[in-house]
């Protein structure tokens, strides 16, 4: 029995082959054995549904979020465009219309 390499993008162990390509069912990445190198310390950011997030994605807020300090609320269903992923307690830096710049946790959004 041969052992297939994990996905170089999301590190999923459920890869399969199609001809000379390796395919990841989790993130849909396709690669050959030559291109299977990736940074070992690359962090993968996922939304509430497990989808992989990338810089520039558009996400939707999945629940009402109370803002600390101002007393405002970001309503469920609010679309946030052009996110930027960062390390820290809050994974997403973004600008929300009417609220300005802020940070969100990836567990409270889903990819649009």
Query: How far is the C-alpha of 94 from the C-alpha of 44, rounded, in Å?
Result: 18
What is the average per-residue pLDDT within 68-94? 91
In the chain, CATH 2.30.30.40 sits at: 59-111
Q: For 12-64, how does the pLDDT look when each residue is reduced to its tens digit (9 = 90+)?
A: 888 888 888 888 888 888 887 655 444 555 688 899 988 889 899 999 999 99
Q: How many residues does the chain have?
A: 112
pLDDT band at 78 (very low <50, low <70, confident <90, very high): very high
Cα–Cα distances (Å) from 67 to 7, 96, 97, 102, in that order, read 37, 12, 14, 10
Residue 96's alpha-carbon distances to 28, 74, 80, 93, 101, in angstroms, are 29, 9, 6, 10, 6
| CATH superfamily assigned to domain 59-111 | SH3 Domains (2.30.30.40)
User: pLDDT tens digit string along 67-76?
Assistant: 888 788 999 9
Q: For the chain, where do the domains classified as CATH 2.20.25.10 start and end?
A: 1-38
Q: What is the CATH number of domain 1-38?
A: 2.20.25.10
Q: Tokens 């600390």 sit at which residue?
A: 68
């Amino acid at each position: 029995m041969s052992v297939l390499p994990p996905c170089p993008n999301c590190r999923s162990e459920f890869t399969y082959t199609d001809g000379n390509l390796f395919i990841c069912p989790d993130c849909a990445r396709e690669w050959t054995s030559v291109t299977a190198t990736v940074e070992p310390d690359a962090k993968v950011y996922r939304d509430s549904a497990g989808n992989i997030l990338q810089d520039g994605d558009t996400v939707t807020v999945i629940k009402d979020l109370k803002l600390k300090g101002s007393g405002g609320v970001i309503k469920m269903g609010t679309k946030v465009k052009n996110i930027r992923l960062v390390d820290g307690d809050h994974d997403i830096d973004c600008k929300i219309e009417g609220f300005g710049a802020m940070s969100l946790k990836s567990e409270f959004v889903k990819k649009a």
